[in-house]
Structure 1
C-alpha cells in the first residue's frame, strides 16, 4: 500500500503546498519520480508532468520520453516535454554537461510555471540524495550552509519525498508493481555523485545500517544551527553595520570582538559576495597598515584606519575626457561629476568653496584632460614649493583607497596636474598679482 498518509503529513509539516496548489512534477521516468507522481495522484493533488530530453543517451532518452508521456496519460494529467541540445549549451556557456542540464531544466521548469500557471515544482529527491549532497559538499569544502543538505522547500522548488530512503522507495515500487525506466548512467562511477553513491555510502552503511535515520537527525541539528547563526548575523547587521550613502562601514574594533570571528564575519559579508578566501585576507589585514583593498566582481572592501568600508566597484574613471577652449562656457561630464569652466578677464580668486578654483588662464595649454589618477602622478600642492606624489597626498588627506579613482584630475596640455578637483590646486597655476585673466573651474556632483 502506498504511504499516502505519511506523504501528506510530511507535506503539511514542511508546508510544501496545499490541496489547491498547481504542481509541476519533474519526472525522469526513474523509480523515484514515478513513485512521487503516483503518491501525488493518490493524495488528490493537482499536478502536471514535465520531462526533459537532454539528447545525451540516444534512443534510451527517446524511450524515457515516451514512457513519461504514457505515464501522464495513465494518470490523466497534463504532460509537458522538451528536447535540449545540452552539449552545445555546455560548450557555449563553458560549463560541465551536468551543470548545463541543470540550468536548462530549471529554466524550462520556471518558464512552464509562468506560461502554464504552475505554482511549485515538485522534485523527487529522497534521503539518500541529501546524504550524497552533504558528502559532496564536505569533499569540496563547505560552510554550515552546505551541511543542511537538500531542503524540503527552496523558493518554488519542493521535495515531498525527503521522508523516504532509496531502499524504501525501491521496496514500494516493487511491491506495487510500478513500471519505471532505469537511466544506465546512474550505474557509472564516472560522475562524483555516483562514486559516493556506489562506493562510499555502502561502506558507511556497514558502519551504521541506520545511516539515513542518523543523517536525518544530523540534518535537523545543522538546520537549527544555521537558523541560530542567521539570527545572530541579523542582530549584528543591525548593530555594527552602518550605512553612509552607498557605502557600508564596520568598525575594526567591532570586527576584532566577533566570536567566532571568521564565521560571523562570513555571515556579514556573504551578501556582498565575499568568499572564504577573501574573508581570510581581511582577517590577516586587520592589524596591518591601513589601505588594504579586497575586491570581488561586484564590491570593493577597504581596510581603512579604524573601519572597513564596503562599496560597489566602480570603473577606473570613465576614460580620459578632453576639455577644449571655446568662445562660450564649457560643460564637461566625468564620472559622478560635472565640471564647468568660466573665463573671466579679472584676476578673481574663488574662496571658501573647495569645489571651485581660480587658475591663471595664460598658463593653460589646451586641450585640457580630465582623468583618474595614475601611479607616479605628482604635483606641487598649493602653498608648497616642492612636489608631492599623489599617492602620498591621498594618504595625508586620509582618502580611502576605494575613493581615489572617483576624484577627477584636471591635467594641462603639457601633462601637469593643475587641480585635484575638490581638494588642492597646483601651486604653479594659482592666481597672482601678475595674473591678467582667470579661468574658474567648478565641480558639481551629479
Structure 2
C-alpha cells in the first residue's frame, strides 16, 4: 500500500510535495495510517485533532493517543476541544452535522492563520460507497451520486482509491496502533446502519462490490460533466442578471427538452427542494412564488425572478426642513428652492408648493391601503392599482419608495407625483425635489 500511495501522490497529487500540509487525525485506523503514509512519503505536515467531548474518557483517550502519535512521528500537533452538544442544540442541527461544521471551520481557521496550503483527510473507498448509498436513500441528483471529491478547494482526500480492508491490512502488517470509536458499532446512525447491515449484503451479492461501484461512479461523473457542459452552453440564453437578481427566460425554457431537469441544474445551489412547484411556475399566474430558506423564485410575466429573501425591518427616513441633500441606501434625494418650474418634467424630479408640505418629510416603502392623487389625473388611486397599471413585478413594487408629508403621499419616487402638492398660485414658493437612484435594494 505504501508504494501505491506514493504512486497516487505522484500521478494525482504532485502539488502536495513540498507544501505545508495539515492532516486531520481522529485516532481511528484510517487517519492514523494516513499519517504514517505521509511520513513515509516524506511530506511536510502537522496534525489536527478534534475532541468533540461526546464519549467522556474515551474522547480524552483519543486526544492523548493523537498527541503521542505526533510525538512519535516528530510532527506538530494541534488539538481543539468542542462543546458539540451545546452547539448542536443552539444551531438546531444533528450531532453529526454539528461535529462536521465545527471540524471544518476549525481546519479552515488553522489553515488561514498558520498558512497551511492543503488539508488532508482520510476518507477512503468504503466511505465513498456509504456516502453514495446515503444520498441514494435520501434522494439526490447526479452530484450526490458521483461521490466524495478527491479535491474540494483546499481539502484533499488522497486515500479514496483504497478500501478499509487494505488500510487495516497495512496497519496490522506494520504493527500500527489505533483507537476504536465505540459509537461506530452502533446502528443508531444511518451511516453505521448502511455500513453494518446493508454493505455486507451487497458484498454477498457481488464480492467485487467496490470495483463495480468505482466503475459506476466513473460513468456517473462523466454524465455529470456532460450535463454541466450542456448547462454552460444554454446558461447565457436562459439567465440574465437583472435589477433585483437573476431572471430566467420562460419562453426559452419551454422550448428546450427536459425543462424540469434544466431548472434543477440552474437552481440547485439556491436551496430549493420543491422542484415540481418550480416547474409549475412556468404556467402559473404572475406573482406566484416558491421559497427556499434564503431565496425565492417569483413568476413574472415572461420571466422567473430569483431574489434573496430580505427579512430586514422596514426602514423609514426623515427629512427635516432646510435639508438640501439626503444620502439613502437606494440613492440620494435633494431639495432646492427655485423660481420657476422646468418644462421638462422628468420622473426623476418633481416641483411642489413648499407651504403644502408638513415637515419632517418621510421616505418609506409602500403598504397595503396606500393611495394618492396622481398628477395629471382626476381622483385618487390605490398604490397597488398604480403598480398593476404599470405592470411592475413584485421586486419592483418592493423596491419602490414613497415621499410622504404626514400621512399623505407626495411622490411615488421616480414614478408619479401627487396632484395635491402641485403649484397652483404664482406667489407659492417652489421646491424642486430630485432623486438619483443608485440601486434597488
Q: What TM-score does the superposition give when structure 2 sets the normalisation length?
A: 0.89
The equivalent of 2:395 in structure 1 is 402
The answer to whether the Cα contact below 8 Å between 1:55 and 1:83 also exists between their aligned partners in 2 is yes
Shift of 1:107: 2.6
The equivalent of 2:280 in structure 1 is 284
- For residues 312 and 88 of structure 2, what CA distance do their matches in structure 1 show? 33
The equivalent of 1:337 in structure 2 is 331
- For residues 422 and 109 of structure 2, what CA distance do their matches in structure 1 show? 64
The answer to whether the Cα contact below 8 Å between 1:300 and 1:402 also exists between their aligned partners in 2 is no
Once the two structures are superposed, what CA deviation does each residue of 1:334-360 show, in whole Å capped at 9, x if it has no partner?
Answer: 44132223345x563653321111223
Q: Which runs of 5+ in 1 are unaligned?
A: none
* Count of residue correspondences: 438
The equivalent of 1:78 in structure 2 is 76
**Residues 263 and 124 of structure 1: CA distance in aligned 2, closer, same or farther (over 3 Å):** same
**Residues 14 and 265 of structure 1: CA distance in aligned 2, closer, same or farther (over 3 Å):** farther
The equivalent of 1:422 in structure 2 is 414
The equivalent of 1:183 in structure 2 is 181
- For residues 364 and 340 of structure 1, what CA distance do their matches in structure 2 show? 15
Shift of 1:411: 2.1
Shift of 1:147: 0.8
The equivalent of 1:303 in structure 2 is 299
The equivalent of 1:224 in structure 2 is 222
Shift of 1:317: 8.1
Q: How does 1:123-162 map to 2 (within 5 A)?
A: 123-162=121-160
Classify the secondary structure of the residue corresponding to 1:286. Answer: helix
Whether 1:168 and 2:166 are equivalent positions in the alignment is yes
The equivalent of 1:393 in structure 2 is 386
Which of 310, 317, 320 is residue 316 of structure 2 equivalent to? 320
**Residues 111 and 287 of structure 1: CA distance in aligned 2, closer, same or farther (over 3 Å):** closer
- For residues 16 and 153 of structure 1, what CA distance do their matches in structure 2 show? 13
Which of 368, 371, 378 is residue 378 of structure 1 equivalent to? 371
Which of 95, 98, 107 is residue 96 of structure 2 equivalent to? 98
Shift of 1:22: 2.9
**Residue range with higher mean Cα deviation, 382-391 or 395-404:** 382-391
Which of 10, 13, 16 is residue 12 of structure 1 equivalent to? 10
The equivalent of 2:207 in structure 1 is 209
Q: Which runs of 5+ in 2 are unaligned?
A: none
The answer to whether the Cα contact below 8 Å between 1:125 and 1:161 also exists between their aligned partners in 2 is yes
Shift of 1:46: 2.6
Once the two structures are superposed, what CA deviation does each residue of 1:259-312 show, in whole Å capped at 9, x if it has no partner?
Answer: 3212222222345x24132x5433212123223344556555432222233345
Which of 27, 49, 52 is residue 50 of structure 2 equivalent to? 52
- For residues 397 and 435 of structure 1, what CA distance do their matches in structure 2 show? 35
Which of 230, 233, 248 is residue 231 of structure 2 equivalent to? 233
The equivalent of 2:424 in structure 1 is 432
- For residues 336 and 42 of structure 1, what CA distance do their matches in structure 2 show? 60
- For residues 248 and 336 of structure 1, what CA distance do their matches in structure 2 show? 19
Once the two structures are superposed, what CA deviation does each residue of 1:131-179 show, in whole Å capped at 9, x if it has no partner?
Answer: 1111111222222111111111112222222112222323333333322
Whether 1:120 and 2:118 are equivalent positions in the alignment is yes
Shift of 1:197: 1.1
- For residues 16 and 302 of structure 1, what CA distance do their matches in structure 2 show? 47
Whether 1:366 and 2:359 are equivalent positions in the alignment is yes
Q: CA RMSD in A?
A: 2.6
The answer to whether the Cα contact below 8 Å between 1:360 and 1:429 also exists between their aligned partners in 2 is yes
Shift of 1:92: 3.8
**Residues 44 and 436 of structure 1: CA distance in aligned 2, closer, same or farther (over 3 Å):** closer
Shift of 1:201: 1.5
**Residue range with higher mean Cα deviation, 24-33 or 181-190:** 24-33
Shift of 1:109: 2.3
**Residue range with higher mean Cα deviation, 293-302 or 335-344:** 293-302
Shift of 1:432: 3.2
The answer to whether the Cα contact below 8 Å between 1:347 and 1:435 also exists between their aligned partners in 2 is no
Q: What TM-score does the superposition give when structure 1 sets the normalisation length?
A: 0.88
The equivalent of 1:36 in structure 2 is 34
The answer to whether the Cα contact below 8 Å between 1:122 and 1:158 also exists between their aligned partners in 2 is yes
Which of 196, 199, 219 is residue 198 of structure 1 equivalent to? 196
Q: How does 1:261-272 map to 2 (within 5 A)?
A: 261-271=259-269
